[in-house]
Amino acid sequence: MAPSYDLHSHSTASDGTLAPAALVQRARSAGVDVLALTDHDTLDGVDEALRSAAALPLTLLPGVEISVTWCAMTIHVLGLGVDPANSDLRQGLGELQTFRDWRAQEIARKLERSGIGGALEGAAQFRKGALLSRTHFARFLVQQGHAASVREVFKRFLVKDKPGYVRGEWTSLAQAVGWIRAAGGLAVIAHPARYRLTRSKLKRLVGAFVDSGGVGLEVVSGSHSVDEMRHMAAVTREHGLCASCGSDYHGPENAWIELGRLRGLPHGCTPIWEADGWPLAGAA
């Protein structure tokens, strides 16, 4: 049987709720053969995940999901098969961490102004690693009874024009792809349908991404509808890109989809695992 790939997942090193080792074990139990750990802007979970995978029939691909600002929007770029020791990548992620720390203070300050105090300390209670994401703020606001769900917190507090929103100034698309390539990885645009881009804007994004050295689109995502998968498959063919698939798993309580349940790639796509420079070529 063809191996089962899940090339997008999160652990407690960013905003997932399972520790890296627990994530790897759950993925194996769900029948995943190749798992990429792609925490937001950090490689902190990779060592533990690799150690855990070493004892199992599962290949762990070190990865990262980099936050990018493109045309005043936040776009996520996956780096698959990166060398976690690469200094260009590590330094770049360090810069993003500095922005994140500043942004967390700003989010807390803004929430305070709208009557919600103690959010920085409150959100920090929900983190297990170094990184503080909007998801941690959302969990705190739910705990405090300001909303019934994480999803509702985002809608009411954490997105554009809402009281706790702080504009992102992450890194550039070219810079993110550059770090990924420097670290020997392949760059993939994460969940491309989630940005709600017009056709012409999507074309511009993909064009800029290809010019920077990006190689794939996440065609199958836990957050894509079947129509969105078909559309993104057509976009890969049009631009000569490869297709990736990932659940974007964040833990059992907030899954887009459970591990091991991804659909296969639509017909006519070139899978990312057949791309030039695929890090496991000849290995798995």
Site for Mn ion in 145-204 (CB under 5 A): 190
> C-beta of 240: minimal distance to ligand AMP in Å?
28
* Among the listed residues 6, 9, 11, 15, the single contact to ligand AMP using CB under 6 A: 15
Q: Report the alpha-carbon distance of residue 229 to residue 197 in Å, rounded.
A: 15
Site for Mn ion in 53-82 (CB under 5 A): 65, 76
Q: Does 39 engage in binding with ligand AMP (CB under 6 A)?
A: no
Position with the least CB separation from Mn ion: 76
- 67 interacts with, out of ligand AMP, Mn ion, none, CB within 5 to 8 A per kind: ligand AMP
> C-beta of 67: minimal distance to Mn ion in Å?
8
Q: What are the phi and psi torsion angles at 58 (to 5°)?
A: -145, 135
Q: Report the alpha-carbon distance of residue 276 to residue 241 in Å, rounded.
A: 11
The number of residues making up the chain comes to 284
Q: Does 59 engage in binding with ligand AMP (CB under 6 A)?
A: no
Q: Which range in 8-16, 124-132, 210-218, 269-277 contacts Mn ion by CB under 5 A?
A: 8-16
> C-beta of 198: minimal distance to ligand AMP in Å?
20
Site for Mn ion in 248-267 (CB under 5 A): 248
Residues near 244 by beta carbon (within 8 Å), at least 6 away in sequence: 7, 8, 78, 80, 188, 216, 217, 218, 219, 220, 271, 272
Q: Report the alpha-carbon distance of residue 225 to residue 120 in Å, rounded.
A: 35
Provide the greatest CA pair distance for the chain: 57
Q: Report the alpha-carbon distance of residue 37 to residue 51 in Å, rounded.
A: 13
Q: What angle do CA 28, 34, 40 make, to 5 degrees?
A: 95
Q: Does 15 engage in binding with Mn ion (CB under 5 A)?
A: yes
Instruction: Kindly tell me which of 114 and 172 has the beta carbon lying closer to Mn ion.
Output: 172
Instruction: Kindly tell me which of 154 and 273 has the beta carbon lying closer to ligand AMP.
Output: 154
Q: How many Cβ atoms from other residues are within 10 Å of residue 208's Cβ?
A: 17
Q: How many Cβ atoms from other residues are within 10 Å of residue 210's Cβ?
A: 14
What is the x/- site pattern for ligand AMP, positions 136-175, by CB under 6 A?
Answer: --------------xx--x---------------------
Footprint of Mn ion (CB under 5 A) = 15, 65, 76, 190, 248
Footprint of ligand AMP (CB under 6 A) = 15, 40, 67, 133-135, 150-151, 154, 250
